[in-house]
């Protein structure tokens, strides 16, 4: 059983800013953070043994239903960024991830955000319960007892 008092450390995902991700203001265009968060989140799932690609092969999808972003400092081309990801809520048919995007060099906070994902049947788009194994993995990562 997991100790409620101890929140597990976040998953850490490293990435390097691509040139095509900058805009003429000379910084990462704000829409790209949703791609960074997605890459971090699916990297976390893969590491937890719950690959998102595998989930879709079972006919289940996790589209984003809600997203919040706050931009703190500009990120620049070729900067290495770290995205720290935590699972903060597991509902019957949804899961919420929170993100902190930091500059690797000095730990400066670049952006924060969260995304809430709904669980759907890919065949018809209907909302369905999270598969039991997936819910278990998410709850384990969240650090709460089942």
39 binds its own copies (CB under 8 A): yes
Q: What string of DSSP letters covers 34-54? A: HHHHHHHHHHHHHHTT--HHH
Choose the binding region for its own copies from 2-10, 18-26, 84-92, 98-106 (rule: CB under 8 A): 18-26
CB of 78 to its own copies, least distance (A): 4
Instruction: Show contacts with its own copies in window 52-71 (CB under 8 A).
Output: 52-53, 56, 61, 63-71
- N-terminal to C-terminal alpha carbon distance within the chain: 8
**CA distance linking residue 56 with residue 63, whole number of Å:** 11
- What are residue 61's DSSP bridge partners? 120
Q: Which is nearer to its own copies, 28 or 90 (CB)?
A: 28
Q: Which is nearer to its own copies, 3 or 80 (CB)?
A: 80
């Amino acid at each position: 059983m997991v100790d409620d008092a101890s929140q597990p450390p976040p998953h850490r995902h490293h990435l390097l800013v691509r040139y095509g991700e900058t805009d003429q203001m000379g910084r990462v265009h704000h829409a790209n953070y949703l791609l960074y968060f997605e890459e971090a989140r699916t990297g976390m799932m893969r590491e937890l043994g719950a690959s998102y690609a595998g989930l879709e092969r079972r006919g289940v999808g996790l589209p984003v239903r809600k997203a919040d972003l706050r931009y703190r400092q500009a990120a620049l081309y070729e900067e290495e960024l770290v995205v720290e990801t935590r699972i903060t809520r597991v509902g019957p048919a949804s899961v919420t991830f929170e993100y902190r995007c930091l500059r690797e060099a000095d730990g400066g906070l670049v952006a924060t955000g969260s995304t809430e994902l709904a669980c759907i049947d890919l065949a018809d788009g209907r909302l369905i319960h999270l598969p039991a194994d997936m819910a278990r993995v998410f709850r384990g990562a969240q650090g709460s007892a089942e």
